[in-house]
Structure 1
Amino acid sequence: MKRNKTHKQVFWFTIINYVGVVIGVISTVFIYPYDKEFLGMVRYVDSMAQMLFPIMVFGGAQALIHFYPSLTKHNKNRLFKYGIVTVLGLSLVILVVLLFGKTFIDWDNYKYVFYAFPLAFSLAFVELFKRQATNIEKLEIPTLYEKIIPKVSLPIIFLLLIAEHLDKISALVAFIGSYFILLLLMVLYVLRHYRLHSGYNFKSLFNEVPKMEYYKYSFYSFLGSFGALFAFRIDAFMIPEFLSFEANGTFNIGVALATSLAIPATGMFAIYAPKISAYLKNDGIVELGKKYIETAKLLFFIGAILYTAVILGIESFFRMLPTYDNLVDSIPIIMLLGFNVLFNMSTGFNSEIISYSKYYRFNIIAILVLSVLNICLNLFFLTQTNLGIIGVAYASLIAMISFNCSKLIFIHKKFGILPFDKNYLKLIGMVSVVFLICYLLPENSSTVLNLLLKVGLNTCVIILVTYKMEWVYSLNYWVDKLIKPDK
């Protein structure tokens, strides 16, 4: 019964996310290309906010998942409340620092920091309330808010900008405002299902969880989150500094389409986070190992179908669109970062296993190495080559593969588990062969026919063979449930 509930959550989480993806993809290919400079500006501010909000949270969101299973009911409530207090206090400190820094820092783009701050503030609380929604197993509606509201608001803002009803600064303010609407709805939903007790005495909480242990875990989690966001958001920050906002817009069109492949992973990692924490605390390594393989295999299966479809059909699909000339430069970015996403999905919930184990400090080392590697690679490609944004994509690809390989090796060494089995390797081999055959099929003069033939054949064969061979449990579970609903 519990397993069926998990599958149901994963299913609805994925559906909600893909509704957001569909909206995002439509916006990316039909609306955003008309003003890539503003898109670059939005992503520049967003990248700053993504680096600020981990400081505001300071590991409180991760601590909420990590300590929650072992606490009494009252202290679970206090743990959540302590996270809220932490965000409020640190946000005030950051605001004072930013205002103070304005006097001494001579940097043309420093003004964008003050647009990033309120965005970061809302993101910090969204992250905290989303983690609490995960703990109480009420993730579907918060996910709906998080994935749909920004995806709907940004294209509306773009259309108003294109129609000259807004200037760029007003549009940027409206974009930030949409996140406060998201935050308000999420807070109201979570508090409707989880009542906060009055009072701000946290003594009993820190009697059950030693304060030093809490702060130590939060600090390492903060460093890990900050390093990861810094490492993977640094491109949107560096491109405008070395190239232009327009180049940043082109790159982010590619990023938006490539990262849409990762939606199933995002949902599964969020839903399984409390379970991973519980397995580790209860020494359920054998069961954890089984889930590790099962989820990695499922995510590779989904990711491989999506990524091979992109490789086989992206050029034909873009040629059918009126915005082709504005989109074509993003194709290499989509292919490189799409493989990046596929590799990350195929290795399962590596980060979650490490984050919720006693070895969580390893994440800090790996993240710091990753940050330095990614920044150095970005600097190299941007200053020493003529590759431009394609070089930035190569930098991300190299850094991400190195990062995931280091986590695989570490988990195997400490826990003796890997996200692979014989059926997984057979699945990889089959997908590779089917993709190669479809790729080598002769091109058709009709763009639509070429798209449907190659992508359709590739997708159908992969799904059919995987189902018949029973390599992915969830595929057979849902297909059988659809075919034989009474069983």
Structure 2
Amino acid sequence: MPFLCRSFILWGFILLTNIFFRTDSSKRIMSVVARQGIKYSIIGYLGFLLGTFSAIFIFPYDMEFYGKLRYILPTAEMIVPIVVFGLSFSNVKFFSKVNADGRHHNMLSLSLLAVVVNFLIFTGGYFVVNLLFPQLQKTELWEMKRLILPMVLVLALSSVFNKFLTNYKRIVVPNIFENFIPKLANLGAFCLFFFLGFAEKTAYGFFFLMFLMSLLGYGYYTNRLEKIKPDFGVNYFKKDNFYREIFTYSLFGFLGNIGNYIAIRIDNFMIGEFISFEENGIYSNIFSIISIIVVPQMGLFNISAPIINKVLITGDYRELDRFHKKTSLSLFFLGLVLFCCIVVGFPYLADFMKNGEDLRSSEPVLWILGFAMLFDLATGFNGHIISLSRYYKFNIVVMLILAVLTISLNMIFLKKTNLGILGIAIAYAISLSLFNIIKIVFNYWKFKVFPLGIEMIYAMILGCLSINVAIFLPDFKLNIINLFYKPAVVLILLFIGNHFLKIYPLDKYLNKSFIKSLFRF
């Protein structure tokens, strides 16, 4: 695994540089974007290393407790969009205007206040509903409400800070709070409970404290970039009914975002509520391993959002299409390399894990989730184009359809089949793929931008051949050798194939000046 991770990071450095090869007029901006995007990926990979170490050597000791931890956070994250109400996105959409008028801190202050008010309203409504319908008090959500509800508030406030910081083209430090801290929280809480013998409540307390520290870190870092000036005045937003424009955008952002969160987070909720916490632990373990292929995605999307917004304002759709294609190919090719290495090494990796036979028996879940994520990478930042354009209301329709479809498919596979977590994985793959297809069609219709290219087909064929060659190669008696040499064969074949097929121009992006710039914060 160390060899693979070093290879993944090297490929991440190389592949992501292509998306930032721009004209002279925007080189400085793209240089910042490139450095931030790649540093983001480094943090992501470090987080992955920690998560992989935990998944292999720690969490398998008690899948049930790990399943509980993986139920708490996704459940809280599904509620967050209700509390945030799209305000985090409004802090990006309207930043140029409010910043020009010197009111960006005014908007930030009011957004944070609104989140607190929304949380109080939601919490009151939640308790009223549970009192009116006592059967709801039999759910795991009700049992864990004392932890999940405070988590919602902390995550909601953190979400506003996170999006606000993207306006400064700074995503590296926030990524530590967003990606690295949750893994430390999981690991620390698990070790306190299982290895040190503390009570579950103590472990949960540590878990919550880590996210509270992240929120404080967001506030400190924001203040460090530009001193925060709390301003809760509303006169600026009353002028010309500007608040109505913000409210409308936030409303539609909320309706769209909640569907997205449901689609992404509902798996752990459904498994925890309807199957078992142990199965939730197994599913989460597999999901965390395969998720390495999407590590660079969020960093790129966060840092690209202001750039996409600017291009949409100018109406330069040809430049948007070029940027879209290069970004999508970069993400897809990197994701494919990682996917190929993971699937050929997973059977041997499972042999080194406690209760690895349970993970090995669920290997089809790995393949299904992996293919769904690869297609998601291939479609690039489709959603960002829509959400930042004047057609952002379309996201409501798409996201709500996605939410209904995801819930329906999960219930069908849970109630009508005996597939268990495999059925949940299939439901996830179908929903995510249909969701991306709808966005591709819409963006081509409205903007004439299309993320897919013939290079992706060549890459997919090359990846399939590499996987089959590695699988059919003879196994050594020692699985530790198989774990390293088969993924290494895949990497070699992909490098050789790419050299002859010219899928991705790696040789153009191996320059010393750019690599040196990665170490300037």
- Calculate the TM-score normalised by the size of structure 1: 0.93
Matches within 5 A, 1:176-195: 176-195=208-227
Structure 1 position 267, deviation (Å): 1.0
Q: Confirm whether residue 104 of structure 1 aligns to residue 132 of structure 2.
A: yes
Structure 2 counterpart SS, 1:357: coil
Unaligned runs of 5+ in 2: 1-27
Question: 1:294 and 1:101, CA in 2 relative to 1: closer, same or farther beyond 3 A?
Answer: same
Separation (CA, whole Å) in 2 of partners of 1:187 and 1:467: 47
Question: 1:202 and 1:466, CA in 2 relative to 1: closer, same or farther beyond 3 A?
Answer: farther
CA contact (8 A) 2:188 2:206 kept: no
Matches within 5 A, 1:377-388: 377-388=409-420
Separation (CA, whole Å) in 1 of partners of 2:455 and 2:484: 29
CA contact (8 A) 1:292 1:349 kept: yes
CA contact (8 A) 2:50 2:183 kept: yes
| More displaced stretch, 17-26 vs 249-258 | 249-258
What residue in structure 2 maps to residue 339 of structure 1? Answer: 371
Structure 1 position 363, deviation (Å): 1.5
Unaligned runs of 5+ in 1: none
Q: Confirm whether residue 260 of structure 1 aligns to residue 288 of structure 2.
A: no
RMSD of aligned alpha carbons: 2.3
Structure 1 position 465, deviation (Å): 4.0
Structure 2 counterpart SS, 1:31: helix
Matches within 5 A, 1:263-282: 263-282=295-314
Q: How many residues align?
A: 485
What residue in structure 1 maps to residue 281 of structure 2? Answer: 249
Structure 2 counterpart SS, 1:200: coil
Deviations 1:186-243 (A, max 9, x none): 1111112122334322322453772222111111110111111112222212222221
Q: One-letter code of the match for 1:86?
A: A
CA contact (8 A) 1:467 1:476 kept: no
CA contact (8 A) 1:294 1:472 kept: no
What residue in structure 2 maps to residue 371 of structure 1? Answer: 403
Residue identity over aligned pairs, in percent, reads 28
Q: Confirm whether residue 84 of structure 1 aligns to residue 112 of structure 2.
A: yes
| More displaced stretch, 80-89 vs 286-295 | 80-89
Question: 1:327 and 1:359, CA in 2 relative to 1: closer, same or farther beyond 3 A?
Answer: same
2:323 to 265, 272, 291: 291
What residue in structure 2 maps to residue 352 of structure 1? Answer: 384
What residue in structure 1 maps to residue 443 of structure 2? Answer: 411
Q: Confirm whether residue 49 of structure 1 aligns to residue 76 of structure 2.
A: yes
Question: 1:157 and 1:485, CA in 2 relative to 1: closer, same or farther beyond 3 A?
Answer: closer
Structure 1 position 131, deviation (Å): 0.9
Matches within 5 A, 1:65-464: 65-71=92-98, 72-106=100-134, 107-109=137-139, 110-207=142-239, 210-464=242-496
Q: Confirm whether residue 24 of structure 1 aligns to residue 51 of structure 2.
A: yes
| More displaced stretch, 114-123 vs 201-210 | 201-210
CA contact (8 A) 2:37 2:303 kept: yes
Separation (CA, whole Å) in 1 of partners of 2:477 and 2:238: 69
CA contact (8 A) 1:61 1:131 kept: yes
Deviations 1:117-169 (A, max 9, x none): 11111111111111111111222112123222221232122112113532223
Separation (CA, whole Å) in 2 of partners of 1:135 and 1:318: 42
What residue in structure 2 maps to residue 34 of structure 1? Answer: 61
Question: 1:3 and 1:250, CA in 2 relative to 1: closer, same or farther beyond 3 A?
Answer: same
Q: Confirm whether residue 480 of structure 1 aligns to residue 508 of structure 2.
A: no
Separation (CA, whole Å) in 2 of partners of 1:284 and 1:381: 44
Q: One-letter code of the match for 1:364?
A: I
CA contact (8 A) 1:75 1:205 kept: no
Structure 1 position 416, deviation (Å): 0.7
Separation (CA, whole Å) in 1 of partners of 2:501 and 2:455: 9
Separation (CA, whole Å) in 1 of partners of 2:130 and 2:454: 58
Separation (CA, whole Å) in 2 of partners of 1:7 and 1:48: 33
CA contact (8 A) 1:56 1:87 kept: yes
Structure 1 position 437, deviation (Å): 3.2
